[in-house]
Chain A
Amino acid sequence: MNVVIIKYNAGNIHSVVHGLRRIGVEPLVTDDKALIRAADKVIFPGVGEASSTMAYLREHGLDTLIKSLTQPVLGICIGLQLMCRHSEEGDTACLGIFDADVKRFLPQRHEDKVPHMGWNTLTNLQTPLFEGVGTGDYVYYVHSYYAAFCEQTIARTDYLHPYSAALHKDNFFATQFHPEKSSVAGERVLTNFMQL
C-alpha cells in the first residue's frame, strides 16, 4: 500500500513515521502534489501553530490539494485543527473540511493546566476507525486548542469540558490525540485507517 505523509512546516512528523513502521507500513514523506494525489492513504499530521502552518499550506498550494483529495485522509493533532473552519490560534481561517471551530482551552481553576498533556479517555466512538477500540480506552494528547462538538464528531474526550477527540466527513478522518503514541489503542486506530 502506498501511504503518504504530507510534508510541511510542522513538527513531530517523525513520530508518525515510526508509528506506521510499527504496524508494518513504510510511509513516504513528501510535499509532491502528484505523489500525494496518487497515494492510497494520506496522513496529515504534525504539531505546530495554526497561522504559520496554514500560511505555509496556502503558499505551497497544499490547501486546495488537501481539500480535493478523494482517498482516505487522516489528520492528526494540528492536522485535525487545520481541517476545521477557523482556529482561535492566530485568528486563522482553516481548510473548512469539518464544520467545527477550534478554540483555546480556558482554565477554570489553578489545577487546570494548558496544554492538555497526557493520557485521557475516549467515549462516544463511531465509524470503523474505532473498530476494536473501547469506551474508556486511553489515548495520548498534547494540545492547547480543541475542536468543538459538531455533527461530524466521531469520538469524545472530556478535559475541562467535552470536545471532539475525532472527526469524520466523507473520506476525511482526523484525531486530536496522537495514535502513534497511544499504545495498543492508537495502533488499532492506525491499523483501522489502513483498512478503510
Chain B
Amino acid sequence: MLAKRIIPCLDVKDGQTVKGVNFVNFRHAGDPVELGHQYSIQGADELVFLDITASHEGRKTFVDMVRKVADRVSIPFTVGGGINELKDVDVLLNAGADKVSINSAALRNPGLIDEVSAHFGSQVCVVAIDANLEDNLWRCYLNGGRIPTDKDLFGWAREAQERGAGEILFISMTHDGVKKGYPNEALATLADNLNIPVIASGGAGKREHFRDAFQLGKADAALAASVFHFGEISIPELKTYLKNEGVTVRL
C-alpha cells in the first residue's frame, strides 16, 4: 500500500537553518545538509528546504546547499522560495533537487505552472498555497502571507491542478504556529476536489494531529517544522503511533 508521507520542513537563510533547532545529542542543527540527513535516517519520507534569503549571494549559497543535500540525502527533497521563472527551476533541478515548490510567483503568473510542468514534468511541480480562513472563505495570500489576493483556496488549487501542478501544498495561515491541529475540513474538501496529492501544512502540535490530517483530512502527506526541530515529536515514535492507529506509513 502507498504510504502516507511525513515531511519535515527546513527554513534556510544564508546556508543555515533558522528557527531554533533543539535536537538531543545533535551538534549540527544549524547545518541544513546534516539536519536533512539526520531526518532521513530517522525515517522522514521527504524533505522540504525553503530559501528565505533575499540577497543574490544568499541565493548562490542556497544552490550550493541543494547540491550538498543531493550528495548526502537518499530520499526525495523539494526546494522552494524565490522561484520566479523557469530558469530558477532549471538551476535547482540541475543541482539535484527532485521537486520545486512555487507559491507567490504562480499566483502572480499562473502560466509558470504550465511552463514548469511542460518542461520538467508535473511530478517536479509542487504548488504551495498560503491561505487564511476569513468569513468562511479561504483567501490566498502572496509573499508568505503578507498580501491578500482575490483568489480562494479551492478555486486556485483546482486551477493549479489543471495547469499541471503535481501536488498541492496547502499552508493554513489560520492554523500555522497554533499547534491545535491541521485544517482537516478544508483538507478533506481539497482531497475531494482534486486528483493530485495534497500535503497538509500548519497546525501540528501532537501526534494525534497527524493522524487526523490523514484520516479526517484525507491528506497524502503532512509537513511540519517546529515540532520536529524542537524534538517535541520524534519521527520514529510518530510513525509507530500512526501505524498503531491504522495509518499506512513506511517504517
Contacts and interface: CB of A to CB of B under 8 A. Distances in A.
Interface string B91-106: 0011110100000000
Interface of A is mostly: mixed
A48 B121 contact: yes
A21 interface: yes
A162 interface: no
Interface of B: 1-3, 5, 40, 45, 70-72, 74-76, 93-96, 98, 120-124, 166-167, 191-192, 195-197, 218, 220-221, 250
B3 A14 contact: no
29 contacts: A11-B93, A11-B121, A14-B93, A14-B94, A14-B95, A14-B96, A15-B70, A15-B96, A15-B98, A18-B96, A21-B71, A48-B121, A110-B195, A113-B197, A113-B220, A114-B195, A115-B123, A117-B166, A117-B167, A117-B197, A118-B220, A118-B221, A121-B1, A140-B75, A180-B74, A181-B74, A181-B98, A182-B75, A183-B40
B44 to A, nearest CB: 10
Interface of A: 11-12, 14-15, 18-19, 21-22, 47-48, 107, 110-111, 113-121, 138, 140, 142, 158-159, 178, 180-184, 186-187
Instruction: With a 10 A CB-CB cut-off, give which of A19, A181, A182, A187 has the most chain B CB atoms.
Output: A181
A183 B2 contact: no
B195 A113 contact: yes
A118 to B, nearest CB: 5
B220 A115 contact: no
B86 to A, nearest CB: 13
A11 B196 contact: no
Contacts of A138: 3, 250
- The 7 lowest CB-CB distance pairs between A and B, nearest first, are A138-B250, A18-B70, A119-B3, A119-B250, A142-B123, A181-B76, A18-B96
Contacts of A117: 123, 166-167, 197
A142 to B, nearest CB: 5
Contact of A118 (B2, B70, B120, B122): B2
Given A11-B121, A142-B123, A119 B195 contact: no
A15 B73 CA distance: 10
Contacts of B93: 11, 14
Given A14-B94, A117-B166, 10 more contacts: A47-B121, A110-B192, A114-B195, A115-B123, A117-B197, A118-B197, A119-B45, A120-B1, A140-B76, A186-B74
A194 to B, nearest CB: 15
A18 B45 contact: no
A22 B71 contact: yes
A115 B40 contact: no
